[in-house]
Amino acid sequence: MYYYDPYGFRSFAQDQLIANIARAVNGQYTAIACYERLANMAPNQEEKEQILEIRNDEIRHFRTFSQIYASLTGRQPSYQIVEQCPSEYRAGLLFAFKDEQKTADFYQDIAEQASHPYIKEQFRRASADEQNHAVWFLYFLTGR
């Protein structure tokens, strides 16, 4: 997969897409760090394992998006934490729930914005994963 345009004829729309993918990469990077912290605060083994399973999805998204970014730009993305996650468990769950909901929407937007079928498909799938994660966090918040 090589979409890199070495001659610099990249359009404004393409630049927007790349900026959004960079934001998605950093969001995933942040979620990976947050969920490790959250898993360590979980009140029981079952919940801890589910959060770690969610974290594995985020690692997969992170790798896929980084690879897409590299194929579009010809370079690796830079990684940075974009938001601090709460240090208290319940606040962390609420933060995660809202973030997953927002992220599901954001990835739908990227899927629509992208013209390449592979990129569309990866963001659609990731969006469905985030929706599923949101349901888990909501369950942890309310289901006990």
Residue 61 sits in the site that holds Fe ion (CB under 5 A): yes
Residue 130 sits in the site that holds Fe ion (CB under 5 A): yes
- Among 129, 99, 112, 142, which Cα is nearest to 20's? 112
117 Cβ neighbours under 8 A, 6+ residues apart: none
Distance CA 101, CA 115 (A): 24
Residue 55 sits in the site that holds Fe ion (CB under 5 A): no
Minimum gap (Å) between residue 54 Cβ and Fe ion: 6
Minimum gap (Å) between residue 21 Cβ and Fe ion: 13
Distance CA 23, CA 77 (A): 10
Nearer residue to Fe ion within complex by CB, 10 or 139: 139
Residues of this chain that bind Fe ion (CB under 5 A): 58, 61, 100, 130, 133
